């Protein structure tokens, strides 16, 4: 690991990981964000235990009923419990956010590393694709592609993931370019390491900090896009409970039952906020000078 | 490289970018399920008529020929005819474009009017109560989905309080809610950037020098800090301008704003692919132009960048 010289001045006798942890711990808001994320994942995993009712049980007689003690978030247009649907919606959003960000990360880091390490024509082609992806309003592009390939969970994850890798590619390429010429890489080559080994063992670990920060913020972005897609009807299809789809109903009944629109939106805001806080804290702890 | 040559190079790169985007857009629509010829002709058309339409529209040609033909027409702003309404796509877009531009300009002006002063003031009063409140609001603004904010604004100010119209376009009051829904996340982004850009400059040695030589604080801020901090801020403003154009789709959808965004979403619902194609291409063109404009403004703001 390349160490930040300022860090070593701050705490001369401990390892890099514990330094990062110390700085991260001081960041109260980031800890809060991290805690919220852990709770959200627990909610997603144990949704059937946490939810007071089934998210699919209909109760048409009590449709659009306002929040009460038995149903803290009220009932929807066919009398399903909104709280239970929001709890189950956690699964969709967190899965899509996580997997989409993961796809972006893998694709972006691999292509960025190739571009930086091989250079020449490969670099030229990859970076021109990055330019195109950065130049266009990706959101409209995403809806257009999802509408074309068919709206379902897998496609949504793939399309979001394959659209947002450009920042990873840029960061990794930049890091590889600056690291490629350094002595420790030359030394690795001198003792007979091949290209793949050098990239994986020596160069990539040094791009880890910015990539982790980017990935955290990327999950937040992917969740926002997924909920927007579902809201428009191009995401996960009903009756699967997803936050965006509950909001679609909420828009239809916003005069008679504003509670349907209120709560899933709050859930989205809290989730995205938690990832943003964690990302900010990670950036400050890993590398305060980072600009992502 | 002179400034002229630099700008010429940037223009060339932008044109190439637009070409890349056009290929991407063409391929996406090509990927879409369903035979466009059947959509044009209708399902119970006799096969020989279908074949004739296929020939006439050029759908029997290889993909690259189709692309080149389409590009040739697109360059003359001819994006074909809507499958649903049989109107010319270029006319449909251009007649709605002014509405989108108006909404975006109002929202953008509002964004800048709030974000720049608040961002600058937060940086000048770092770690005060004002700064902390600003930071929290910024994070909230960045995390809130714009469409949900739009719904909440409608529920509160239009449906319950009855102060403002629910949707549509007409009086100046129609602009208020959609501009806010559109502007909040933009404002948050610009505020954050402005604050950090200002802070970075405020810690520079030349600012300390300017202060220690006895310049009035106002002069230090206006002449030294603001001017140097403006470079990243202008970049951000350019980027955000690009985002605002694509972000207004969903807000237009919610507020039934008669603009390009609503047209695009309705066309997606009705699988009116030629309209979608036209909108994506035109929006991308506008974004590329906005980025080009940022680069040119750069040259003017910072002479150091001119010769790279």
Give B107-146 pLDDT, tens digit per residue.
988 888 998 889 988 888 888 888 888 888 888 998 999 8
- Which residue shows structure tokens 């001119």? B306
Q: Residue A81 has what pLDDT?
A: 87
Q: Residue B229 has what pLDDT?
A: 83
- Select the more confidently predicted residue: B57 or B263: B263
The rounded distance, in Å, linking the Cα atoms of A153 and A66 is: 31
Q: Residue A195 has what pLDDT?
A: 78
Q: Residue A1 has what pLDDT?
A: 45
Of the partner residues A136, A262, A273, the one whose CB lies closest to the CB of residue B284: A136
- Are residues B20 and A132, on separate chains, in Cβ contact within 8 Å? yes
**Using CB atoms and an 8 Å cut-off, which of residues 251-290 of chain A contact chain B?**
251, 254-255, 258, 261-262, 264-265, 268-270, 272-273, 276-277, 280
Exposure of B86 by Cβ count < 10 A (0-12 exposed, 13-18 middle, 19+ buried)? exposed
Which is nearest to A163 in space by CA: A213, A100, A93?
A100
Of the partner residues B145, B154, B249, the one whose CB lies closest to the CB of residue A224: B145
Q: Residue A9 has what pLDDT?
A: 53
The band of B244, judged by pLDDT with boundaries at 50, 70 and 90, is: low
Is the CB of residue B286 less than 8 Å from the CB of residue B243? no
Separation in Å, CA A252 to CA A38, A77, A177, A247, B255: 33, 9, 52, 9, 13
| A150 interfaces chain B, CB cutoff of 8 Å | yes
Average pLDDT over residues B75-81: 82
- Please name the residues in contact with A122: beta carbons below 8 A apart, sequence gap of 6 or more: A114, A115
Cβ contacts from A onto B, under 8 A: 129
Structure token digits, residue A236: 């996960």
Q: In chain B, what residues touch A145 (CB-CB under 8 Å)?
A: 28, 31
Q: Residue B308 has what pLDDT?
A: 46
- Are residues A136 and B247, on separate chains, in Cβ contact within 8 Å? no
Structure token digits, residue A144: 């257009």
Structure token digits, residue A274: 């938690």
The rounded distance, in Å, linking the Cα atoms of B57 and A4 is: 62
**The pLDDT of residue B196 is above 70:** yes
Is the CB of residue B147 less than 8 Å from the CB of residue B181? yes
Whether this prediction's pTM lies above 0.90 is answered by no
Q: In chain B, what residues touch A246 (CB-CB under 8 Å)?
A: none
- Are residues B28 and A269, on separate chains, in Cβ contact within 8 Å? no
- Are residues B24 and A128, on separate chains, in Cβ contact within 8 Å? no
Residue in chain A closest to B279 (alpha carbons) equals A140
Query: CA angle at residue B281 from B277 to B284, to 5 degrees?
Result: 140
Q: Residue A161 has what pLDDT?
A: 92
Report the percent of chain B where pLDDT is more than 90.
Answer: 4
If one counts every other C-beta atom within 10 angstroms of the C-beta of residue A79, the result is 16
| Secondary structure (3-state) at B86 | coil
Q: In chain A, what residues touch B32 (CB-CB under 8 Å)?
A: 147-148
- Are residues A137 and B284, on separate chains, in Cβ contact within 8 Å? yes
Instruction: Please provide the DSSP assignment of B124-162 as one string.
Output: HTTTSHHHHHHHHHHHHHHHS-HHHHHHHHIIIIIIIS-
- Are residues B148 and A149, on separate chains, in Cβ contact within 8 Å? no
Backbone angles phi, psi at A75, to 5 degrees: -120, 155
Mean pLDDT of chain B, nearest integer: 82
- Which residue shows structure tokens 């149903």? A71
- Select the more confidently predicted residue: B281 or A224: A224
When computed from its CA atoms, the radius of gyration of chain B, rounded to whole angstroms, is 24
When computed from its CA atoms, the radius of gyration of chain A, rounded to whole angstroms, is 22
Which is nearest to A214 in space by CA: A109, A140, A68?
A109
- Are residues B17 and A224, on separate chains, in Cβ contact within 8 Å? no
Of the partner residues A137, A231, A258, the one whose CB lies closest to the CB of residue B155: A258
Q: Residue B86 has what pLDDT?
A: 81
**Using CB atoms and an 8 Å cut-off, which of residues 182-211 of chain A contact chain B?**
none
Q: In chain A, what residues touch B24 (CB-CB under 8 Å)?
A: 132, 136, 141
- Are residues B24 and A132, on separate chains, in Cβ contact within 8 Å? yes
The rounded distance, in Å, linking the Cα atoms of A39 and B149 is: 25
pLDDT by 10-residue block (mean), chain A, 292 residues: 50 68 79 93 90 84 82 84 90 93 94 88 88 76 82 90 90 84 82 80 80 90 92 86 90 88 93 91 74 54
Q: Residue A46 has what pLDDT?
A: 92
| Secondary structure (3-state) at A162 | helix
């Amino acid at each position: 690991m390349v160490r930040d010289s300022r860090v070593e001045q701050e705490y001369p006798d401990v390892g890099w990981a514990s330094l990062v942890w110390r700085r991260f711990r001081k960041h109260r808001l980031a800890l809060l964000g991290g805690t919220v994320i852990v709770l959200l994942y627990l909610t997603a995993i144990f949704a059937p235990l946490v939810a007071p009712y089934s998210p699919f049980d209909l109760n048409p007689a009590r449709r659009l009923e306002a929040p009460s003690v038995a149903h803290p978030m009220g009932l929807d247009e066919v009398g399903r419990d909104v709280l239970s649907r929001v709890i189950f919606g956690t699964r969709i959003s967190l899965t899509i956010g996580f997997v989409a960000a993961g796809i972006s990360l893998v694709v972006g880091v691999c292509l960025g590393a190739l571009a930086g390490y091989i250079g020449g024509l490969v670099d030229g082609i990859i970076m021109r694709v990055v330019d195109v992806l950065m130049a266009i309003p990706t959101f409209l592009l995403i809806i257009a592609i999802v509408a074309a390939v068919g709206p379902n969970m897998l496609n949504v994850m793939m399309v979001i993931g394959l659209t947002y890798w450009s920042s990873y590619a840029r960061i990794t390429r930049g890091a590889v370019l600056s690291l490629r010429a350094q002595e420790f890489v030359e030394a690795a080559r001198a003792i007979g390491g091949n290209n793949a080994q050098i990239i994986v063992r020596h160069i990539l670990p040094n791009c880890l900090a910015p990539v982790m920060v980017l990935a955290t913020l990327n999950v937040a972005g992917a969740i926002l896009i997924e909920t927007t897609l579902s809201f428009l009807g191009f995401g996960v299809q009903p009756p699967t409970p997803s936050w965006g789809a509950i909001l679609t109903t909420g828009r239809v009944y916003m005069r008679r039952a504003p509670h349907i629109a209120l709560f899933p939106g709050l859930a989205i805001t809290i989730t995205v906020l938690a990832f943003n806080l964690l990302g900010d804290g990670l950036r400050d702890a890993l590398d305060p000078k980072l600009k992502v | 490289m002179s400034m002229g040559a630099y700008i010429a190079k940037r223009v060339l790169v932008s044109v190439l970018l637009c070409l890349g985007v056009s290929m991407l857009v063409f391929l996406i629509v090509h990927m879409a399920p369903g035979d466009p010829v059947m959509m044009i002709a209708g399902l119970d058309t006799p096969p020989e008529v279908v074949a004739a339409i296929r020939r006439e529209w050029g759908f029997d040609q290889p993909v690259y020929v189709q692309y080149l033909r389409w590009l040739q027409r697109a360059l003359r702003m001819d994006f074909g005819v809507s499958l649903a309404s049989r109107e010319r796509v270029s006319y449909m877009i251009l007649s709605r474009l002014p509405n989108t531009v108006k909404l975006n300009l109002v929202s953008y002006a509002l964004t800048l009017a709030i974000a720049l002063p608040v961002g600058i003031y937060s940086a000048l009063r770092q770690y005060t109560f004002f700064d902390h409140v600003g930071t929290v609001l910024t994070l909230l603004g960045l995390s809130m989905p714009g469409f949900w904010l739009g719904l909440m604004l409608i529920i509160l100010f239009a449906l319950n309080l009855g102060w403002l119209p629910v949707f549509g376009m007409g009086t100046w009051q129609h602009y208020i809610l959609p501009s806010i829904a559109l502007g909040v996340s933009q404002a948050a982004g610009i505020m954050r950037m402005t604050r950090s850009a200002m802070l970075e400059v405020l810690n520079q040695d030349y600012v300390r020098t300017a202060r220690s030589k006895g310049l009035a604080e106002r002069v230090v801020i206006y002449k030294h800090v603001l001017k140097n901090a403006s470079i990243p801020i202008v970049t951000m403003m350019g980027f955000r301008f690009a985002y605002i154009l694509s972000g207004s789709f969903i807000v237009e959808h919610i507020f039934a704003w008669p603009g390009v965004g609503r047209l695009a979403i309705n066309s997606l619902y009705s699988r009116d692919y030629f309209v979608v194609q036209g909108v994506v291409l035109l929006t991308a063109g506008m974004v590329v132009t906005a980025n080009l404009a940022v680069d040119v403004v750069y040259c003017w703001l910072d002479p150091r960048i001119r010769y790279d």
